[in-house]
């Protein structure tokens, strides 16, 4: 009995120590500024956040993140890349301090992580085989056509398709955008659902695929779907999130921010749209 009790006490003590250690290891603004190093992750998605051939971080998220880090007195950013579906788990495991992937701000994600205010806004699109042989122009048709539609693991297009009653048996999940071209061109799926910017970028890389012409944006619960992307943090990093929000609000008022949007293919409507929603509105169910 004494041995059992001793083991129980030791176990509880260990759990407490681990809990304190986990809390202490979460990204803290003061310690980040003291070290002058910010760890930022991207998912290698053009034009949102990616590493170019020379190893430099590019995209809307990284370019804005670089400005914010400088404004916060942080001299160095340590970049890392991971699959989109691993971004939130990576934050929760303290593998990085912030995500700069223009991840869509959604209620179910807000329960797991913290989001900045929106940095961008963007619509949807479909990548189809050259010539669009199945004559596909929207998400909704997959609910009745029997055609297969591919999505990236962890992407919010899954929730859109589910809301449109697309059967799970017709949804093909791939691990990253790079696999989309072969998935569609070989017929494993009849289309790939992604944002319009991603679809355009993928289509520019191969003459075997193209964006679906005359695409009709999905309408769910009477509202046309549009996404708002932001920076992401662990739930223990409120001070870092708040500091980023302060600098982001300032930067979005400058011509330099507008230039970044235009440079990566965001339209004037996309840039303007980023101001139309707040994170609290987007996180509300």
The span from the CA of 216 to the CA of 138, in Å, is 5
More confident residue, 15 or 148: 148
Q: What is the mean pLDDT of residues 118-122?
A: 96
With beta carbons less than 8 A apart as the criterion, state whether 82 and 76 touch.
no
In angstroms, the CA 226 to CA 205 distance is 25
d(C-alpha 166, C-alpha 173), whole Å: 14
The class level of CATH for 27-122+227-279 reads alpha beta
Per-residue pLDDT tens over the stretch 195-208? 999 999 999 999 99
Q: Which CATH class is domain 124-224?
A: alpha beta
Q: How confident is the model at residue 3 (pLDDT cuts 50, 70, 90)?
A: very low
Tens-place pLDDT, residues 200-253: 999 999 999 999 999 988 999 998 899 999 999 999 999 999 999 999 999 999
> Residue ranges per domain, the chain?
27-122+227-279, 124-224
Please give the Cα distance from 67 to 73 (Å, whole number).
10
**Do 124-224 and 27-122+227-279 fall under one CATH topology?**
yes
Q: Are 59 and 41 in contact (CB under 8 A)?
A: no
What's the CA gap between 276 and 140, in Å, rounded?
26
pLDDT tens digit sequence for 84-118: 999 999 999 999 999 999 999 999 999 999 999 99
Provide the total of helices (H) and of strands (E) in the chain, helices listed first.
13, 15
Phi, psi of 248 (to 5 degrees): -65, -40
Question: What is d(CA 128, CA 67) in angstroms, rounded to the nearest whole number?
Answer: 37
């Amino acid at each position: 009995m004494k041995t059992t009790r001793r083991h129980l006490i030791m176990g509880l003590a260990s759990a407490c120590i681990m809990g304190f250690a986990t809390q202490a290891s979460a990204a803290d603004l003061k310690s980040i500024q003291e070290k002058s190093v910010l760890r930022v992750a991207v998912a290698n998605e053009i034009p949102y956040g990616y590493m170019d051939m020379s190893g430099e971080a590019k995209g809307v998220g990284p370019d804005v993140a670089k400005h914010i880090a400088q404004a916060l007195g942080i001299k160095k950013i340590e970049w890392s890349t991971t699959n989109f579906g691993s971004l939130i788990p990576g934050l929760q495991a303290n593998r990085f301090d912030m995500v700069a992937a223009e991840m869509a701000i959604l209620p179910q994600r807000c329960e797991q992580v913290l989001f900045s205010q929106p940095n961008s806004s963007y619509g949807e699109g479909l990548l189809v085989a050259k010539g669009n042989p199945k004559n596909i122009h929207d998400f909704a048709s997959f609910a009745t056509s029997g055609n297969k539609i591919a999505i990236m693991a962890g992407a919010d297009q899954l929730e859109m398709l589910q809301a449109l009653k697309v059967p799970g048996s017709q949804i093909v999940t791939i691990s990253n955008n790079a696999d989309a071209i072969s998935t569609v061109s070989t017929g494993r799926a009849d289309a790939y659902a992604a944002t319009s910017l991603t679809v355009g970028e993928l289509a520019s890389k191969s003459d075997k695929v193209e964006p679906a012409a005359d695409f009709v944006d999905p309408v769910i619960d009477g509202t046309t779907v549009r996404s708002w992307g932001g920076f992401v943090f662990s739930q223990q990093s409120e001070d870092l999130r708040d500091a980023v929000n302060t600098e982001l609000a300032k930067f979005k008022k400058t011509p330099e921010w507008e230039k970044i949007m235009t440079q990566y293919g965001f339209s004037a409507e996309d840039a303007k749209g980023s101001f139309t929603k707040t994170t609290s509105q987007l996180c509300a169910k």
